[in-house]
Structure 1
Amino acid sequence: MSSPVARERWAVAAVFAVHGTVLGTFASRLPWIADHLRLGAGQLGLALSMISVGVLVATPLAGRFVQRFGGRTSTMMTLAAWCTALALPALSQNVMVFGTLLLVFGMTSGTADMAMNAQGIEVEKRLGKSIMSGLHGSWSVGVLVAAFAGSLFARARVDARVHFAVTAGGLLVVGLIAAARLSGPPATVDRPGQQRVPWFCLPKGRVLLIGLVGFCAVFPEVAAHEWSAIFMRRVLGADEASAALATSVFALTMTGGRLGGDLVVRWFGAGRTVRICGLVGATGALLVVVAHTELLAMAGFMLIGAGVSVVVPLSFAAAGHAAASPAVGVAGVATVSYGAGLAAPSVIGGVAAASSLRWSFMVVAILAGLVAAAAGLLDQRPERTGAERTTSDFDLLR
């Protein structure tokens, strides 16, 4: 019979999968939304940037929220809000409403992401072995399944509003059942002398550098998630179903990389693994730039998926173990890393408007190359006391 912590590992993996399924569902039907609202590349990029604005607003505050309500309750609350928010974007009637709803979408995503990653690091500590890559692999499984489902819904010409509403209801039930099986960290209240998670984290030193590596990995991930289907549709002239398939193959290789990532890291070390991944991702982005066939473009998106697969999980794990608490580490690095989510839609859309969507993926190639160059930052986790971590790697604004 499995131990309680092993059962909790599977529960938190299910939470990650539900979170990824929401995002994958949304990304797979972006062509429908863009066509429905008649959005150009620049308008779509600006609207999508509101997701990251919401994430960046909510994530630094989510650490204190997790401490206040506890791991299980905070995860249940934030995951429920994230699933519910899926139904909103497809209801938009114009670009202003779309951008506003995406702001809410991003805020719910950021808080849920923060809660589940902090929970994952707690479980990793209790198990005494690396599981974060696998947990993010579960998230990618959710994206992958949702992307394939989105392709099928698109091929059947199902209205995205119906697709999103039905999917949101099902995920809400599954997410709440999984989150209810989680434990700790327990809810706390402020007491004199008690160490509190800060209201806001501004990382510096090694943690800031880890966050910048995460930024360079999140940018290609967001670019491929949100622009692969658009690239296939508008640059190569693929039909909507084939365009959605590009998101699927990207998610497929990212999923495979993350599910096997913990084992690969134990063999080769984090630094060498991340260096190879960065080079693979850069190669994939260059293939997208030169692609003139659907097959070559899909191969490029597959390589990008493999390239970014383990970088973000290893960044979160390194920060969570380096900081005074997982909530502090995740919140600090996520604040920097997820800034790429704000930059990617607007940068990709801006470059596309100024030149072409094809050349915008040169930015992805450059940032993936920087991941390879800075891979050594994730090779070791400094072992220090909680007080040292708090004072040297973070400015805390309470």
Structure 2
Amino acid sequence: MSVLRAVRDVATDRPRASLTGAYAVQGFGFAVMLTHIPAYKDALGVGDDAITLAFGCVCVAAGTGSALAGPVAARAGSRRVVTGGLVVAALGVAAVGLAPTLPLFLAAFVLYGLVLGAVDAALNMQGVDLERLRGTSLLGSFFAANAAGGVLGALAVSGVELWGLGLGVSHALIAVVVLAAVALLAPGLVRTVVRGGPVAPAGRPGTPSGVVPDGGGSAVAGTSPTARAGAPGAGAGVGAGVVVVLGVAMVAYPVGDSAVSSWGSVFLHDVLASGSVVAPLAYAAYQLAVIASRVAADTLVARLGRVRLVRSGGLLGTAGFVLVALSPHWSLALVGFAAVGLGIGVVAPMAFSAIGDRAREVAAPGDLERVTDQALARLNVFTYVGAVLGGVLTGVFATADHLRLGLVALALLASLSALLAGRFVEQRVPADSGSVTAP
């Protein structure tokens, strides 16, 4: 490793740690909302239909928030979207827990969904920025942190239930935890990344390219421009077709995630007669495999390349769903669920890295940040399209007689990731060079 690279890695260590924490906080909060469903039903005296409506509203609101994140980040910066969004999300968590009526509950849930989508998109903007500044794949580990945060959120809900805390008190405490984490992490996030322009973090002219705080006054600056003048499509945004293709390629993850969380234990219990103790292990095997695949993803990108990794992941996910569908015994199905997690878990982070590269190929000098953020926000909408589609599939194939057929449908969807893996090719423009400067 060159001295320059070593210094740059040290300078970006704090932003990397802070962003990892922010991804985990986002996953933590979302898991708290998901795993409190029985408590919501009891507190409001409503049935499954009302809760289904609430989560449908969350998906629509999150898609809207994701789409809005691009223009908002262009004006305020992705760091402010992340920090401000997490603060509002924490308030939304508290409001959901304290809502005395169904209309107020739905309003609080919609508010939470709106910032959920905005923060998701802005986190990925930060992640792509940091990948460029560090010169290596990082999104896999960030997505792993998000999944791990979800596990912690579920454990937190279990803990507050064990202690017998009321819904309002537990949500308020969890909101305080999120707010404290935001206060701790915010100073280390990527503050300003200005590509192809002479703007420094404090508004001082003459400092080229991107700047990342390391907590001690240092900054990472890459040379400019990061897109070639006169390159094909220079000045344009990433085409809608490119966004759609990558979105379709990655949609197997949110659909599969929704389906496994809804069907997994039901399939083991009702179809394979596993017993109530074993049934929850379907989601556990899947989720642990997702985390493991994402932890390894960045290293695997360096060894295999993004295209081979996505193709392998899509094929493994397809095989996993088929194995579950054909399993005569729950033990074999658990292997299949783990294979699904290992396979489709890597696709989403690689899609966001790929859209960042597509932005570099088409953006004019000085316009890369806007083009990238816009493309990332649009791609992130497919996360919630997938969640809605997963809910639809759950309804269509919900009975035990149709679960095997539903798993085959998921296998076909996962195969799209393998078929479209060629669209995940690494950047076709030179990587940033850079230097470390201190003000």
Q: Same fold (TM over 0.5)?
A: yes
Secondary structure class of the residue paired with 2:12: helix
Count of matched residue positions in the alignment of Structure 1 and Structure 2: 372
> Paired residue for 2:115?
108
> Paired residue for 1:197?
none
State the AA in 2 paired with 1:81.
V
* Mapping 1:17-166, distance limit 5 Å: 17-33=24-40, 39-40=47-48, 45-89=52-96, 99-151=106-158, 161-166=168-173
- Determine the C-alpha separation between the residues in 2 that align with 1:230 and 1:88: 32
Q: For each residue in 1:63-114, what CA deviation from the matched residue of structure 2 results, as whole angstroms up to 9, or x when unmatched?
A: 1111222233222101112233234445567876655543333211101111
- Determine the C-alpha separation between the residues in 2 that align with 1:110 and 1:123: 20
1:218 aligns with 2:254: yes
Cα pair 1:27 1:225 within 8 Å, conserved: no
Cα pair 1:55 1:106 within 8 Å, conserved: yes
Summarize the Cα distance change of 1:5–1:311 in structure 2 as closer, same or farther, 3 Å threshold.
Answer: same
Cα pair 1:203 1:332 within 8 Å, conserved: no
2:300 aligns with one of 247, 256, 264: 264
Q: Report the alpha carbon displacement of residue 334 of structure 1 after superposing the two structures with TM.
A: 1.5
- Determine the C-alpha separation between the residues in 1 that align with 2:407 and 2:331: 17
> Paired residue for 2:211?
none
Q: For each residue in 1:148-182, what CA deviation from the matched residue of structure 2 results, as whole angstroms up to 9, or x when unmatched?
A: 44455556666555443322221221123202322
Summarize the Cα distance change of 1:173–1:221 in structure 2 as closer, same or farther, 3 Å threshold.
Answer: same
1:372 aligns with 2:379: no
Summarize the Cα distance change of 1:349–1:43 in structure 2 as closer, same or farther, 3 Å threshold.
Answer: farther
TM-score, reference length from structure 1: 0.79
- Determine the C-alpha separation between the residues in 2 that align with 1:157 and 1:288: 37
* Mapping 1:223-262, distance limit 5 Å: 223-225=259-261, 228=264, 246-262=282-298
Summarize the Cα distance change of 1:123–1:92 in structure 2 as closer, same or farther, 3 Å threshold.
Answer: same
State the AA in 2 paired with 1:280.
L
- Determine the C-alpha separation between the residues in 2 that align with 1:219 and 1:276: 19
Summarize the Cα distance change of 1:30–1:289 in structure 2 as closer, same or farther, 3 Å threshold.
Answer: farther
Summarize the Cα distance change of 1:188–1:6 in structure 2 as closer, same or farther, 3 Å threshold.
Answer: closer
Secondary structure class of the residue paired with 2:426: coil
Summarize the Cα distance change of 1:5–1:208 in structure 2 as closer, same or farther, 3 Å threshold.
Answer: same
Q: Report the alpha carbon displacement of residue 250 of structure 1 after superposing the two structures with TM.
A: 2.8
Summarize the Cα distance change of 1:356–1:172 in structure 2 as closer, same or farther, 3 Å threshold.
Answer: farther
Summarize the Cα distance change of 1:76–1:312 in structure 2 as closer, same or farther, 3 Å threshold.
Answer: same
> Paired residue for 1:194?
none
> Paired residue for 1:277?
313
Cα pair 1:281 1:307 within 8 Å, conserved: yes
> Paired residue for 1:311?
347
Percent identity over paired residues: 25
- Determine the C-alpha separation between the residues in 1 that align with 2:250 and 2:412: 14
1:330 aligns with 2:376: yes
> Paired residue for 1:7?
14
> Paired residue for 2:174?
167
Cα pair 2:35 2:154 within 8 Å, conserved: yes
Summarize the Cα distance change of 1:33–1:345 in structure 2 as closer, same or farther, 3 Å threshold.
Answer: farther
- Determine the C-alpha separation between the residues in 1 that align with 2:347 and 2:27: 17
- Determine the C-alpha separation between the residues in 1 that align with 2:127 and 2:294: 15
Summarize the Cα distance change of 1:188–1:346 in structure 2 as closer, same or farther, 3 Å threshold.
Answer: farther
- Determine the C-alpha separation between the residues in 2 that align with 1:306 and 1:70: 33
Q: Report the alpha carbon displacement of residue 185 of structure 1 after superposing the two structures with TM.
A: 3.8
Summarize the Cα distance change of 1:252–1:83 in structure 2 as closer, same or farther, 3 Å threshold.
Answer: farther
Query: What runs of 5+ residues in structure 2 fail to find an aligned partner?
Result: 1-6, 195-200, 204-236, 364-368, 431-439
State the AA in 2 paired with 1:312.
A
Cα pair 2:249 2:417 within 8 Å, conserved: yes
- Determine the C-alpha separation between the residues in 1 that align with 2:422 and 2:409: 22
Q: For each residue in 1:120-163, what CA deviation from the matched residue of structure 2 results, as whole angstroms up to 9, or x when unmatched?
A: 11111111111111111111221122234445555666655544
- Determine the C-alpha separation between the residues in 2 that align with 1:308 and 1:176: 33
Cα pair 2:248 2:382 within 8 Å, conserved: yes
- Determine the C-alpha separation between the residues in 2 that align with 1:381 and 1:139: 25
Cα pair 1:83 1:168 within 8 Å, conserved: yes
> Paired residue for 1:184?
192
State the AA in 2 paired with 1:340.
G
Cα pair 1:214 1:311 within 8 Å, conserved: yes
Summarize the Cα distance change of 1:382–1:360 in structure 2 as closer, same or farther, 3 Å threshold.
Answer: same
Summarize the Cα distance change of 1:94–1:341 in structure 2 as closer, same or farther, 3 Å threshold.
Answer: farther
Cα pair 1:86 1:168 within 8 Å, conserved: yes
Summarize the Cα distance change of 1:80–1:334 in structure 2 as closer, same or farther, 3 Å threshold.
Answer: same
Summarize the Cα distance change of 1:223–1:212 in structure 2 as closer, same or farther, 3 Å threshold.
Answer: same
TM-score, reference length from structure 2: 0.72
State the AA in 2 paired with 1:327.
D
Cα pair 1:144 1:252 within 8 Å, conserved: no
Q: Report the alpha carbon displacement of residue 3 of structure 1 after superposing the two structures with TM.
A: 3.1
Q: Mean Cα displacement is larger for which, 241-250 or 42-51?
A: 241-250
Cα pair 1:249 1:301 within 8 Å, conserved: yes
- Higher normalized helix content (fraction of residues): 1
Cα pair 1:49 1:342 within 8 Å, conserved: yes
> Paired residue for 2:385?
339
> Paired residue for 1:348?
394
